[in-house]
Amino acid sequence: MKIKYIKRTVFAAVLMSSAVLGYLLYEPEIYSLDWQPLPKIEVTKGQSQQFESGFEQEIVKAQELIQQGLSDLGSPGISIAVGIKGKKVWAAAYGLSDIETKKPITLGSQFRIGSTSKAVTSLALGKLLELNLLQLDDNIEVYLPDLPKALHGITIRQLASHQSGIRNYGSCFCLPMPEYYNNDTYTSVSDALAVFINDKLEFQPGSKFSYSSYNYTLLSAVMEQAAKQPFLDLMNSQVFEPLKMNLTAADAKGVNIPNQVSFYNVGYGHYQLSYDVDNSNKWAGGGFLSTPSDLVQMTNQLLSGKYLQKSTLATLFEPQKLNNGEVNIQNYALGWRHSIRKKTLAGKSSVHYIHHGGRAAGSSSLLIMFPEYELVVSVLINSSVGNYGDLWDLTLEVATPFLSVLESKKNVQVLSLQNH
């Protein structure tokens, strides 16, 4: 009996230890015990501000869509901004920044923008191109000579267009195990390279497309060396300050950012705080905080031609080709995706749009521009959305009334010119 008891005790101890170890390794992906019923969110309570006249009816429609979208997405809060022809036309924010304190979302609330950070980083890349501090087809070892030999021959263009062969997030024998939820603090971009820099490439650079935020971590290290300036200082001096993006910053753990929202996982009418992450290993590719107004301000300036030269802009927006001459499968450019809407939009069967979305721990982002109409829409929510397509659908629905009126005005202008 004693031997059986010992065996059972040992077995129970091993089982318990395995369960604890499994929980620690996969904690962010395990439904923990702190899920709470999501309180009723007053979707009509919030801020709405019109900055330019002439779009009153479209704003009313967009406001209704955003309020309904907040309810449908199940997110605590949502924020949006719309820009047209270089000006911010409308911004709104509804719901809660923090559920526990019932703090409301405001127009100045800052969200994690996830991979939309790549589009933001592309602006600094464009500036370095214009300053002749780097060239897209330079090999990266020119700037980082101590890189492992296996990475020699990768070009800056291949990093910025996800054609380098560098892997994406994986798992490690660490806590937590999924790298996506890394909560280690890296004191520099160079330190963050250690996460992946010695791993084998997944394919010959330029032969395939494989999306990986680590491309942008390495790209930011190259940009640092080219500019002779730490990456975040480069972003501040070349992007945030000149574009007056006063509410855009690195998501740095332990730094007090008063306007930062709380980040949540939501599902089945319940919520929990998102797992605590540290984004210092991926600032360039997924680690910035911002607001829709800042992102619209940035993109307005891009489309106006006041920030980057038209030739530079064309380079950033051009879908990149593989070594075989074919455009990559995602029409990915340099920090942006370039797409054509195949379903009817604003009365047209095809509309070009350039965009980048992002999902981060407890936050989701979408930034879209329609160059033909000089229309920009940015939407941010403080929850991880289960079906990202829902956020896409909402954003395109919001854009449609503005596109329709801009299309009609364009047709009136063409008719007027013809009559003259």
In terms of domains, do 69 and 209 share one?
yes
Angle at 264 between CA 20 and CA 114, to 5 degrees: 100
pLDDT in tens, 8-51: 554 444 444 444 444 444 555 554 568 999 999 999 999 999 99
Average pLDDT on 208-235 reads: 98
Count of beta carbons in the 10 Å neighbourhood of residue 22: 12
CA pair distance 85, 301, nearest whole angstrom? 9
Q: Is residue 308 part of a domain?
A: yes
Residue located via tokens 């891009």? 302
pLDDT at 18: 42
Per-residue CA distances from 301 to 168, 309, 373, 396 (Å) = 31, 11, 14, 21
In terms of domains, do 149 and 220 share one?
yes
In terms of domains, do 84 and 166 share one?
yes
Q: Is residue 36 part of a domain?
A: no
Give 37's DSSP letter.
E
Q: Is residue 279 part of a domain?
A: yes
Q: Which helix (H) or strand (E) holds 94?
A: strand 87-98
Check pLDDT > 70 for residue 418: no
In terms of domains, do 135 and 12 share one?
no
Task: Report the percent of the chain where pLDDT is more than 90.
Answer: 76
Contact 293, 49 (CB under 8 A): no
- The pairing of strands 363-370 and 375-381 is antiparallel
Higher local confidence (pLDDT), 344 or 282: 282
3-state DSSP percent of the chain in helix, strand and coil, to 5: 40, 20, 40
Give 162's DSSP letter.
T
In terms of domains, do 126 and 16 share one?
no
Query: What's the N-to-C CA distance of the chain in angstroms?
Result: 105
Give the rounded distance of the alpha carbon of 1 from its chain centre. Answer: 61
Task: Report the percent of the chain where pLDDT is more than 70.
Answer: 87
Q: Give me the number of domains the chain comprises.
A: 2
In terms of domains, do 295 and 400 share one?
yes
Q: Is residue 37 part of a domain?
A: no
pLDDT at 28: 53
Range of the domain at 27: 1-31
Check pLDDT > 70 for residue 420: no
pLDDT at 20: 42
Contact 338, 331 (CB under 8 A): yes
Contact 151, 141 (CB under 8 A): yes
pLDDT at 274: 93
pLDDT in tens, 84-143: 999 999 999 999 999 999 999 999 999 999 999 999 999 999 999 999 999 999 999 999
CA pair distance 172, 146, nearest whole angstrom? 24
Q: Is residue 174 part of a domain?
A: yes
pLDDT in tens, 163-196: 999 999 875 555 555 576 777 888 889 999 999 9
In terms of domains, do 105 and 196 share one?
yes
Amino acid, res. 49: Q
Average pLDDT on 275-291 reads: 93
In terms of domains, do 4 and 56 share one?
no
Beta-bridge partners for 363: 360
Residue located via tokens 């791993």? 199
The verdict on whether omega for the bond into residue 176 sits within 30 degrees of 0, i.e. cis, is yes
Q: Is residue 261 part of a domain?
A: yes
CATH number of the domain encompassing residue 199: 3.40.710.10
In terms of domains, do 397 and 354 share one?
yes
In terms of domains, do 346 and 415 share one?
yes
pLDDT in tens, 222-252: 999 999 999 999 999 999 999 999 999 999 8
Beta-bridge partners for 84: 87, 375
Average pLDDT on 50-72 reads: 96
Angle at 220 between CA 261 and CA 262, to 5 degrees: 10
Contact 205, 158 (CB under 8 A): yes
Q: Is residue 342 part of a domain?
A: yes
In terms of domains, do 118 and 3 share one?
no
Angle at 207 between CA 320 and CA 220, to 5 degrees: 60
In terms of domains, do 237 and 321 share one?
yes
Higher local confidence (pLDDT), 412 or 402: 402
Q: Is residue 255 part of a domain?
A: yes
Q: Alpha helices of 305-387 — where are they, by DSSP H?
A: 310-317
